[in-house]
Structure 1
Amino acid sequence: MQRRTFLKLAAASALATQLPRWALSATLRERDLFSLGVASGAPAPDGFVLWTRLLGGAIPGTPQADAHGTSPLQGPLTVRWEVAEDEAFRRIVRRGQAQALPELGHSVHVEVDGLRPDRWYFYRFMHGDAVTALARTRTAPASDTLAPRVRFAFASCQRWEQGHYAAYRQMRQEDLDLVVFLGDYIYEAAVPANARAHLPRTHSLPTATSLQDFRDRYALYKSDPLLQAMHAACPWLVTWDDHEVQNDYAGRAGSEPAAAFLARRTAGYQAFYENMPIRASALVHGMAGLGTPDALSIHARHRWGRLVDFHLLDDRQYRDLQPCREPGQLRKGSVSPGDCSALGDPRRTMLGSAQEQWLAQGLVQDQRDQTRWSAIAQQTIFSRRNYKAPPQEAFHSDTWDGYPAARQRLLDSIAAAAPRNTVFIGGDIHQHYACNVLAEFSDPSSQVIASEFCTTSIASASGSSMESAAKIMAHNPHIVHARPDQRGYIVVESTPARWAATLRAVEDVTRADSAVGTQAAFVVEDRRPGVQLVSAS
């Protein structure tokens, strides 16, 4: 699809309005059109985004689809939607109709506004006789309000075939205001035939390269009932990482020729928009000086009054290639300054210059607004992890360790802006971490200026061991906690006085009904940067 057409269709379909009668589609009846569930996101004081996607037939990649096909839908379909103050939908406050267009994968994005701040609402979609299950979402507090509390979870990395989503069953019980998902919602690779017998579950989808491939992958993941239930429980803030396109890609470069990779990236980006509860305003021509025809601007600020400002980052689309990696080739697993001069190049960036400036300005604004907590929500671990005993050095090339100059610029921005409290949250590495963030990681005696929590994966396996994690902690004293052996998520309860983070851990990821326990709990106190251990298992 031409980009201009794509933008027009997406923007038009997001309008919370009534369609004229001539625009209404024929009605399909007695079909399970909403098998992928619903979702909401981007909560603002006056509204939010509502999402669903209609699907015909069996879920792609499952035995039923392999045997009987997927019966794709044809043409546009008109979907009705309602937002109510009560579960019985007696007090409906907004309603309308939207088009589920084939050009957008029959997805629906409705941007609802005009609602009251800091309120829970219920919503549903309808087409013919089909009605979605009850779902709820909420608005954020008014921008000038110091809310007494927000409770949220953050998560990442939910590789379908490597485990069940028991983490979401427990997360559903956490009484959350929102979820922050930090990337790797899907994994693009095929499941090797010789590995299928040894996995908790499997699928038959090929490696995703085309738009239909990516649509099928999202449909498979979104068919999971535990994931659907968590989406229906509260709004989500979402960003991406690499597997929404290709493992370890960086900006406009992947592990294949440029033209083929950019076609894949375009398909992956469109499928991400189609399947996530994000606003149509993300569909812009990229950032100033860095725009590409296939760009989505997904970095955004989401304020929870003056309690928390979530700076949701994009550290994939604008980053430089990993240090000492050749275009079209795989990245090096770890790099050392003595063997890779590019590691120290001050020009290299993780976020792109425009996003760096945008974040720096946001931190200044947090200080001016007297925001209690500046939450920098990004995809991976931010703190330095030297794999070797000093003075030797070796670093992971795909995390912030591969971009030390960019990390230092962000640290300098924090020091200069002096927001009241800064906390980094991340994922990607399939390990639970808690860290003290130093003003200069090259100087272990430098001041602690922020705190960090990095969540393990929902389901994706870790390639690390407890022994290696212990060595990393020994080589990096600012790392307070490191555990690669369990899957899970982190739940945070933030008040004006403290940030309490509880690291949840799934006992057996091969079971959908697995118990979920607590691995450790930490607090960060107001105006006292650094993590404090409360308990550990």
Structure 2
Amino acid sequence: MAPTDTPPPTFDRRTFLRLSGVSSAALALGVAASDADAAATPGGPVPDGVFGLGIASGDPGPGSVVLWTRLAPEPLAADGHGGMPLRPVPVRWEVSPDERFRVVARRGTAIASPELAHAVHPLVEGLEPGREYFYRFRVGREVSPVGRTKTLPAAGASTSSFSFATASCQAWYHGHFSAYRHLANEELDAVFFLGDYIYEYGIGESNLWRAGASVAPEHGAEIETLEQFRLRYALFKTDPHLQALHATAPWMVTWDDHEVQNNYGADGSRYGISTEHFPHLRAVAYRAFYENLPLSLSTMPDGPDSTVFRRFDVGSLARFNVLDTRQFRDAPPVDREDQYDERRSMLGRQQERWLYEGMSGSPATWNVAANGVTVSAITEDRTDQWDGYPAARARLIEAMRTTSNPVVLTGDIHRHVASELKADFADPDSPTVGVELICTSVASGGDGAPTDGYTPDWVQHPYVKLYDGRRGYVHCRMTPDELTSRFRIVPWIEADADAPVRTTARFVTPAGAPGLEGQE
């Protein structure tokens, strides 16, 4: 039976867990099921076209990776169940070093349950480190497309290079995912998605800028329920270029605000939702986030709480710390004195300690924080960014000074920005501690333009080396000697998905010499 999704007028934490939790059996079987479990699952016909939302992989380790699919023969069915019968369905998977599957390295079964919107997250272990693999799923006689993934190098292993991209902010209704069409053809070991995978707003005539697109009336309401979140993920994931990119490389994903509500923080809504109701909204939003992305079981929410900050080591080359800048932050400042209060935190004390200890103790050449909102100082009135948490930013910068070659990866602002992180932003001549690479949006904001009304706020600072408001992504290649970042843009997205891609700026950051050296 599907869980109840509509909260009662009043409830406590135990009620949250009852309404928003998932049975331990469903969770476990969605990761790994035995032959006996599969045989014990009631049979019955399954509709054709169950792989309508594609396939994906994510959260890789040196010998492991998480696979994902969500069965949905009718992805846009209004009830959020994707056209699936409300019963469990066995899903078989295979992993091979060969795209034609002449040799199968690992195989297994997971049970797609209606409790998790028929999503499965099999954890594949026992793979070789630093190796390319291919995977596919089977349901009955139906076989999914083939996906490509890659494990991380062994702990401490010498690694000659690592290529990755950053992307964020994919408002489907604002335009086509042209950037993903190009990104799927790049050299990629991984993709870091930095927030705003979906948007919660109702979709209507005023914001549906994607030429040729239309939506059913149920998409017109702002999201409040689990079914609505499931449907919104399904809408965005019907894009063929997003599906292709998911099937090209493993993703490491974090959230920003629109996976729940614009500019939210912790249990606080900026739009009038009561403190009693908002944690329920967060609970169902976090639940849908897990259901629809290739995430490890450790990120599965417990009611309104989830742990999405986690760490990925790429041999001895790089350490990536994926952060959560929403769930634990203090409330927006009420005045300047509050804004500069030393006690204020963007990450919460537990996550701060975890990050700083991981940075100071890191053996890696490059140490990266994959983060939702801008760290660089821009203007004091941008309180949703780290500008609203200057004491927390100072602690972060100080922690960066204890590690080698710090890099911050950021999304959120729908602009490409390359910035040098200063020991003291009030003194542009102070030492450069690291670099921040901010990727523009994939679609949010429509076509965009090289400059806009916000340009002066950013380029007034000598440490900001690039500002470009067009759509695209950032492609990076790390070696033991340098980090090369290419800021890629497409000139339009609203009319169609056919726009070409080009590099608007390219920077080199030498190991041991933090900064951004512009290159033609």
TM-score w.r.t. length of structure 2: 0.91
Residue 356 of structure 1 is aligned with which of 352, 374, 379?
A: 352
Residue 406 of structure 1 is aligned with which of 392, 397, 408?
A: 392
- Mapping of 1:52-71 within 5 angstroms? 52-60=69-77, 71=83
Q: CA deviation at 1:135?
A: 0.8
SS of aligned partner of 1:434: strand
Q: Tell me, yes or no, if the aligned pair for 1:47 and 1:112 is still in contact at 8 Å.
A: yes
Q: Tell me, yes or no, if the aligned pair for 1:33 and 1:55 is still in contact at 8 Å.
A: yes
Aligned residue in 1 for 2:433: 449
SS of aligned partner of 1:39: strand
Aligned residue in 1 for 2:319: 309
Q: CA deviation at 1:59?
A: 2.3
SS of aligned partner of 2:67: strand
Q: Tell me, yes or no, if the aligned pair for 1:158 and 1:457 is still in contact at 8 Å.
A: yes
Residues 1:225 and 1:8: Cα distance change in structure 2 (over 3 Å) = same
Q: CA deviation at 1:91?
A: 0.3
**Counterpart Cα distance in 1 of 2:262 and 2:222:** 11
1:192 lines up with 2:178 in the alignment: no
Aligned residue in 2 for 1:533: 518
SS of aligned partner of 2:467: strand
The superposition leaves residues 224-262 of structure 1 with CA deviations (integer Å, 9 ceiling, x where unpaired) of 110000000110000001000101100011121112221
- Mapping of 1:496-507 within 5 angstroms? 496-507=480-491
Q: Tell me, yes or no, if the aligned pair for 1:504 and 1:517 is still in contact at 8 Å.
A: yes
Aligned residue in 2 for 1:389: none
Residue 167 of structure 2 is aligned with which of 146, 155, 166?
A: 155
Residue 167 of structure 1 is aligned with which of 169, 179, 182?
A: 179
- Mapping of 1:329-408 within 5 angstroms? 340-366=336-362, 369=363, 371-386=364-379, 394-408=380-394
Aligned residue in 1 for 2:297: 280
Q: CA deviation at 1:144?
A: 1.2
Q: Which amino acid aligns with 1:161?
A: Y
**Counterpart Cα distance in 1 of 2:65 and 2:210:** 41
Q: CA deviation at 1:27?
A: 4.4
Q: CA deviation at 1:23?
A: 2.4
SS of aligned partner of 1:528: coil
Residues 1:128 and 1:437: Cα distance change in structure 2 (over 3 Å) = same
- Quick check: 473-482 or 31-40, which moved more? 473-482
SS of aligned partner of 1:103: helix
Residue 246 of structure 1 is aligned with which of 229, 242, 261?
A: 261
1:85 lines up with 2:97 in the alignment: yes
The superposition leaves residues 364-402 of structure 1 with CA deviations (integer Å, 9 ceiling, x where unpaired) of 121xx2x1100110012110003xxxxxxx431111111
Q: CA deviation at 1:322?
A: 1.6
Question: What residue ranges of structure 2 are gaps of 5+ in the alignment?
Answer: 4-17
**Counterpart Cα distance in 2 of 1:172 and 1:198:** 21
Residue 230 of structure 2 is aligned with which of 205, 215, 224?
A: 215
Q: Which amino acid aligns with 2:144?
A: T
SS of aligned partner of 1:43: coil
Residue 442 of structure 2 is aligned with which of 458, 462, 465?
A: 458
Q: Tell me, yes or no, if the aligned pair for 1:14 and 1:110 is still in contact at 8 Å.
A: yes
1:122 lines up with 2:106 in the alignment: no
Count of paired positions: 496
The superposition leaves residues 304-350 of structure 1 with CA deviations (integer Å, 9 ceiling, x where unpaired) of 111111100000110111222xxxxxxxxxxxxxx532211111111
Aligned residue in 2 for 1:520: 505
Q: Tell me, yes or no, if the aligned pair for 1:7 and 1:283 is still in contact at 8 Å.
A: no
SS of aligned partner of 2:436: strand
Residues 1:122 and 1:16: Cα distance change in structure 2 (over 3 Å) = farther
Q: CA deviation at 1:442?
A: 2.6
The superposition leaves residues 16-60 of structure 1 with CA deviations (integer Å, 9 ceiling, x where unpaired) of 644435423314356111100000001111110000001142524
**Counterpart Cα distance in 2 of 1:221 and 1:491:** 23
SS of aligned partner of 2:276: helix
Q: Which amino acid aligns with 1:383?
A: S
Aligned residue in 2 for 1:335: none
Residues 1:58 and 1:447: Cα distance change in structure 2 (over 3 Å) = closer
**Counterpart Cα distance in 2 of 1:397 and 1:352:** 16
The superposition leaves residues 172-200 of structure 1 with CA deviations (integer Å, 9 ceiling, x where unpaired) of 11121110000100001112344447866
**Counterpart Cα distance in 1 of 2:176 and 2:407:** 29
Q: Percent identity?
A: 38
**Counterpart Cα distance in 2 of 1:195 and 1:512:** 18
Aligned residue in 2 for 1:494: 478
**Counterpart Cα distance in 2 of 1:194 and 1:469:** 23
Residues 1:246 and 1:18: Cα distance change in structure 2 (over 3 Å) = same
Q: Tell me, yes or no, if the aligned pair for 2:459 and 2:467 is still in contact at 8 Å.
A: no
The superposition leaves residues 139-173 of structure 1 with CA deviations (integer Å, 9 ceiling, x where unpaired) of 11001112100111000000011010010110011
TM-score w.r.t. length of structure 1: 0.88
Q: CA deviation at 1:11?
A: 3.3
Residues 1:196 and 1:423: Cα distance change in structure 2 (over 3 Å) = closer
Q: CA deviation at 1:96?
A: 1.1
Residues 1:341 and 1:508: Cα distance change in structure 2 (over 3 Å) = same
1:233 lines up with 2:248 in the alignment: yes
Q: Which amino acid aligns with 2:382?
A: H
Aligned residue in 2 for 1:477: 462
**Counterpart Cα distance in 1 of 2:47 and 2:31:** 26
- Quick check: 438-447 or 198-207, which moved more? 198-207
SS of aligned partner of 1:429: coil
Q: CA deviation at 1:71?
A: 3.6
Q: Tell me, yes or no, if the aligned pair for 1:28 and 1:127 is still in contact at 8 Å.
A: no
SS of aligned partner of 2:287: helix
Q: Which amino acid aligns with 1:220?
A: L
Residues 1:23 and 1:425: Cα distance change in structure 2 (over 3 Å) = same
- C-alpha RMSD of matched pairs (Å): 2.1
**Counterpart Cα distance in 2 of 1:197 and 1:85:** 41
**Counterpart Cα distance in 1 of 2:457 and 2:43:** 61
Aligned residue in 1 for 2:10: none
1:141 lines up with 2:169 in the alignment: no
Q: CA deviation at 1:201?
A: 3.4
Aligned residue in 1 for 2:415: 431
Aligned residue in 2 for 1:179: 191
**Counterpart Cα distance in 1 of 2:212 and 2:436:** 32
Q: Tell me, yes or no, if the aligned pair for 2:59 and 2:252 is still in contact at 8 Å.
A: yes
**Counterpart Cα distance in 2 of 1:458 and 1:354:** 32
**Counterpart Cα distance in 1 of 2:360 and 2:479:** 21
Question: What residue ranges of structure 1 are gaps of 5+ in the alignment?
Answer: 286-292, 325-338, 387-393
- Quick check: 15-24 or 309-318, which moved more? 15-24
Q: Tell me, yes or no, if the aligned pair for 1:29 and 1:129 is still in contact at 8 Å.
A: no
